[in-house]
Each structure stands twice: as C-alpha cells, then as structure tokens.
C-alpha cells in the first residue's frame, strides 16, 4: 500500500514538474532566477539579501508564493524584521521590500 502510494505521489510530482502548473502557480524557480539575472545590479544585490536574511526562517522562495498585495511589501517585511532573532538590518529590510515591489510590478 505504501509503495503504491509512493509511486502515485512520484507520478503526481512528475506531472507537476512541467509547464502544466505555470498558469496556476507561476513559473518555476529556475525561470524566476533567470529573470532576476536580467535585473539591475541593485535588485540582484537585494535578492542576495533575500537569500541570506529570509532563509534564516523559511525558504527564500516562500515570499514569491505569498499573497501580498502590491505596495504593501514594506509593511510585511517590517513585521518580519520585528520578530526576535530575525536580525534584518533596516537597510536590508528596505532593499528586500523594494525588491519584491520591483518583482511584483513585472507580474501581470
């Protein structure tokens, strides 16, 4: 039973690996990273801050899946910054918020 369930799960995983999820969930992380590589240096550096600061508590890709309205990233990053142990300096918090606004502006 467990073996068959695992096979079913692997089959599902295989299906989800293609473009079938693009419409529902957006592009995969490789495509997002490729897009970021085309950004100005300032935004590329800000994404590096995302990978360092945010990954302390969660996957750096989690914010890309979060349902945060445009124009409110500053507020959201600030609530993260206030958490004890988060250790996100003000300048990094501002860069991270600006990065996600920049990213969101390029979404349809």
Q: Between helices 90-105 and 41-53, what is the axis angle to 10°?
A: 120
- Using rule CB under 8 A, residue 106 touches other proteins: no
Q: Per rule CB under 8 A, is residue 83 in the interface with other proteins?
A: yes
In angstroms, what is the minimal distance from the CB of 3 to other proteins? 7
Handedness of CA 49, 56, 89, 98 (dihedral sign): positive
Site string for other proteins, 15-44 (x = CB under 8 A): -xx---x---xxxxxx-xx-----------
Which positions from 47 through 76 interact with other proteins, judged by CB under 8 A?
51-52, 55-69, 71-72, 74-76
């Amino acid at each position: 039973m467990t073996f068959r369930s695992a096979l079913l799960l692997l089959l599902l995983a295989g299906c989800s690996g293609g473009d079938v999820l693009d419409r529902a969930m957006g592009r995969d992380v490789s495509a997002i990273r490729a897009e970021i590589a085309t950004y100005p240096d300032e935004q590329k550096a800000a994404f590096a801050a995302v990978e360092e600061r945010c990954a302390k508590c969660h996957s750096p890709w989690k914010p890309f899946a979060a349902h945060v309205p445009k124009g409110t990233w500053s507020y959201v990053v600030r609530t993260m910054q206030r958490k004890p142990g988060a250790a996100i300096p003000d300048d990094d918090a501002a860069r991270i918020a600006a990065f996600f606004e920049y990213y969101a502006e390029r979404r349809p």
